[in-house]
Amino acid sequence: MDRNIFDNEHEMFRDAARAFYQNEVKPHSDRWHEQGIVDREAFLKAGEQGMLLMWADEMYGGAGVHDFRFEQILIEEIAKHGDPGFFMTLHSRLVGPYIGELGTDEQKQRWLPKCVSGEHVLAVAITEPGGGSDVAGIRTKVEDKGDHYLLNGSKTFISNGILADLVVVVARTDTSRHGLSLFVVERGMEGFERGKNLKKMGMKSQDTAELFFNNVKLPKDNLLGEWNRGFYHLMHFLAEERLLGACQYLANSEAAFEATMEYTQERKAFGRVIADFQNTRFKLADMRTQMDVAQSFVDRCVLEHNEGNLSAEDAAKAKLFCSELEARVTDDCVQLHGGNGYMDEYPVSRMYANARISRIYAGTSEIMREIIARSLGLDPRKKNKAA
Ligand SMILES: Cc1cc2nc3c(=O)[nH]c(=O)nc-3n(C[C@H](O)[C@H](O)[C@H](O)COP(=O)(O)OP(=O)(O)OC[C@H]3O[C@@H](n4cnc5c(N)ncnc54)[C@H](O)[C@@H]3O)c2cc1C
């Protein structure tokens, strides 16, 4: 089905994004996959092209473009023509807005220009070795020492964790369940150490690390947003984070589908191309149908988000459906490739391995179902309270 949410300006931007990925990302993808990390220069090159933190005000070097469709285009093109392990979007749209929306003028002046240029890479550190789904269970803590804050604790599974120059860290600042605050920890601060680049099942070009904070002295003006309001600040950004995920998982499904369309029309068995078997045609027809239906919902969510109307539950539905769809599509695509689909040199093999994380990070599928069920009035916590 034709999509009707883009105009000429978007399509021109899509061409530029595609060319950027084809020239500056794809040629390095195999090497990044082997080395387990993208080159830092990739962020600088994306910055030169004006593709990082496009929403940032011009006074910080940005383009002041808030239209989410431009980010959606970057996500769609990187899935097909780049390397989804290059986490530009995490930098630009998942972490950058914490500084852009919660930061003081001084903080924005201090940090945003280098994030826009790609000189500073961003990460967000919520998850701890003790757990990720239950954000209110965070144990990393910050004490107010009068003229500075003192940070102690550790985080794990942090994307861009090795490359990051600025990390938005969520820490406990009060014993109440939601007593959390956000802090910016900078590369080189004494007591801030990184663990090794963690080896993963998929998304190999993406660096993922443990972070350790041992008596890190934070200047008072590295508190981001309000003291003890960190939990609510996080909740504020979650709808966008889940929409970003949905766009990405759907784009990954499209990339796997296209590779499989091509493969099945070339590969032969029993004297005919694989695409001639009814099973192949039906599988591809099912994928196409489900992706088209999902795309309509995601595009509608994008427009709602542009209007500031995207609800947490609709974002959760998009994230849940697209991540589960990506799992089914990539699995079927590997199957239609036969043994070649299991080989690393075939893109679909990496796509299958990459897809496994989509149902886990940015809130697991189970947590998405919880959010959606609560929106239906099905909340046992409320029932227990009333009893
Ligand atoms: C490659 C990768 C990159 C990541 N990047 C980042 C990052 O940049 N920053 C960051 O902070 N974190 C990051 N994470 C962490 C990620 O967000 C967490 O792994 C995720 O939130 C799940 O938390 P957990 O691993 O502790 O699982 P757990 O919370 O221990 O969950 C285990 C299982 O229990 C289920 N479960 C938990 N609670 C409930 C419930 N209430 N109802 C039903 N089922 C439940 C979960 O769905 C899951 O199936 C990343 C993880 C990976 C693997």
Degrees, nearest 5: CA angle 207-83-275: 135
Q: How far is the CA of 137 from the centre of ligand 1 (A)?
A: 13
Residues 362 and 236 in one domain: yes
Q: Is residue 307 part of a domain?
A: yes
For the chain, percent of residues with pLDDT exceeding 90: 96
Query: Which residue's C-alpha comes closest to atom 25 of ligand 1?
Result: 132
Q: How many residues does the chain have?
A: 387
Domain that holds residue 39: 8-120
HSE-CB of 15 using CA atoms within 13 angstroms: 5
The reported pLDDT for the residue numbered 150 is: 98
pLDDT at 386 over 80: no
The reported pLDDT for the residue numbered 291 is: 98
Residues 111 and 151 in one domain: no
| Residue from 154, 360, 371, 372 to probe ligand 1 pocket by mutation (most atoms less than 8 Å from CB) | 360
Give the domain-ending residue among 91, 120, 149: 120
| Start-to-end Cα distance in the chain | 50
The mean predicted confidence, pLDDT, of the chain is: 97
Number of domains in the chain: 3
Query: Which residue's C-alpha comes closest to atom 7 of ligand 1?
Result: 158
Domain harbouring 308, CATH code:
1.20.140.10
Residues 132 and 33 in one domain: no
Residues 272 and 366 in one domain: yes
Q: Is residue 2 part of a domain?
A: no
pLDDT at 1 over 90: no
**Positions of E strands within 86-224:** 122-125, 141-144, 148-159, 166-172, 180-186, 192-197, 208-219, 223-224
Answer yes or no: 210 catalytic. no
The reported pLDDT for the residue numbered 215 is: 98
**Pairing verdict, β 166-172 and 122-125:** parallel
pLDDT at 128 over 80: yes
Interval 11-30: pLDDT, tens: 999 999 999 999 999 999 99
Mean pLDDT, residues 198-213:
98
The reported pLDDT for the residue numbered 233 is: 97
Q: Is residue 3 part of a domain?
A: no
Q: How far is the CA of 82 from the centre of ligand 1 (A)?
A: 26
Query: Which residue's C-alpha comes closest to atom 52 of ligand 1?
Result: 157
Give the domain-ending residue among 209, 227, 245: 227
Q: How far is the CA of 133 from the centre of ligand 1 (A)?
A: 5
Residues 258 and 197 in one domain: no
- Residue 305: how many CB atoms within 10 A of its CB? 22
Query: Which residue's C-alpha comes closest to atom 40 of ligand 1?
Result: 367
Q: 387: pLDDT confidence band, cut at 50, 70 and 90?
A: low
Residues with CB under 6 A from ligand 1: 123-127, 131-133, 157-159, 200, 203, 208, 357, 360-361, 364, 366-367, 370
Q: 58: pLDDT confidence band, cut at 50, 70 and 90?
A: very high
Residue 353 Cα distances to 25, 144, 164, 203, angstroms: 20, 43, 24, 7
Interval 63-100: pLDDT, tens: 999 999 999 999 999 999 999 999 999 999 999 999 99
| Catalytic residue (one of 241, 254, 313, 370) | 241
Statement: the pTM of the whole predicted model exceeds 0.85: yes
Give the domain-ending residue among 227, 253, 284: 227
Domain harbouring 48, CATH code:
1.10.540.10
The reported pLDDT for the residue numbered 136 is: 87
- Return the higher-pLDDT residue of 328 and 137: 328
Q: Is residue 74 part of a domain?
A: yes
Q: Is residue 259 part of a domain?
A: yes
Mean pLDDT, residues 186-214:
98
Q: How far is the CA of 132 from the centre of ligand 1 (A)?
A: 4
